[in-house]
Amino acid sequence: MKDQVFPHRHLLGIEGLTPIEINHLLDLSERYIAVNRSSKKTNESLKGRTIINLFFENSTRTRTSFELAALRLGANVINMQVETSSVAKGETLIDTAVTLNAMHPDVLAVRHSDSGAVKLLADKVNCGVVNGGDGSHEHPTQALLDALTIRRRKGRLSGLIVAICGDVLHSRVARSNFYLLLTMGARVRIIAPKTLIPSGVNRLGVEVFTDMSKGLKDADIVMMLRVQNERMKGSFIPSVREYFRFFGLDRQKLAQAKPDALIMHPGPMNRGTEIDSDVADDFERSAIREQVELGVAVRMAVLEVLAKNNMAFTSAGAGK
């Protein structure tokens, strides 16, 4: 039977999800935090199911997190090494998807450097697909784990002022967070140099700042983003030193935010570019380690829901 609150086959993005669906995924994730902190750490709810991690782009934490999540639910997990697979021999994205589909996985967790590639793949398979990050488009499980971290630390999402700072233009984390936080009633600000602000972003309902001291004023959450050099064609920032001076988070800039403002970063961090080690490692204020921890719980909840929904879709013969 499909999950009654989240009856979808795939999780390709946060855009379009309702507050009820988001809260449901967060509530399900919450239950796994205790399992992950216990010594046994296992639950057999996906025993016999198959999850394939298909990562066309580098990843340490997201891939490991999906793998651990699947293992802790008792599923069988395969990690596709894209560099050594047929993709390196020129097999197309679709061919790869169709080949993997023939092995009857329950869920594919897919990361790709092109925005939209994960959706394209989802349209060609008849199993569940979770987007592990597509280009600069969406990274839904990251936004869910960020929301879970905030909800646990602050008790709510609604009404909070969340400042998302740095390379917004190239960030799928920022985009998924806009959708989630605005849907849940938070106030979202972005703070970035003009060259790293996506055009038309204010139409989404976010407030735009180019000055850290103004944008951080009274913020409850300060979410720093990695400068994504690999997605920059040309020069978007004058120099690392200059960038850090104006947009890097240090004590002085942080002082503009609320005294108990939470510091977040999706990782991997460029210390000394977008964040100073002094604030990143301040465990009273920084939730960066907790974000990684809660990521496993969120992925357990998402894999569980999608694998169960997949059974229902498959047995109903719905095809896709």
Of all residues in the shown chain, the one whose CB is closest to ligand ASP is 226
For helices 140-154 and 19-37, angle between their N-to-C axes, nearest 10 degrees: 80
Site string for ligand ASP, 116-155 (x = CB under 6 A): -----------------x-----x----------------
Site string (44-83) toward ligand ASP, x via CB under 6 A: ------------------x---------------------
Residues 6+ apart with CB under 8 A from 56: 82, 87, 93, 110, 111, 112, 113, 117
| Cα–Cα distance, 98 to 92 (Å, whole number) | 10
Structure token digits, residue 110: 């897919």
267 binds ligand ASP (CB under 6 A): yes
Q: How far apart are CA 160 and CA 185, in angstroms?
A: 8
Would you say 42 or 229 has its CB closer to ligand ASP? 229
Among 226, 253, 299, 308, binds ligand ASP (CB under 6 A): 226
Phi-psi bin for 46: left (phi > 0), alpha (psi -120 to 50), beta? alpha
In whole angstroms, how close is the CB of 156 to ligand ASP at the nearest point?
25
Peptide bond before residue 268 is cis, with ω within 30 degrees of 0: yes
The single residue among 63, 119, 172, 299 that binds ligand ASP, judged by CB under 6 A, is 172
Which residue of 13, 105, 198, 266 would you call a contact of ligand ASP, by CB under 6 A?
266
The residues binding ligand ASP (CB under 6 A) are 62, 133, 139, 172-173, 226, 228, 266-267
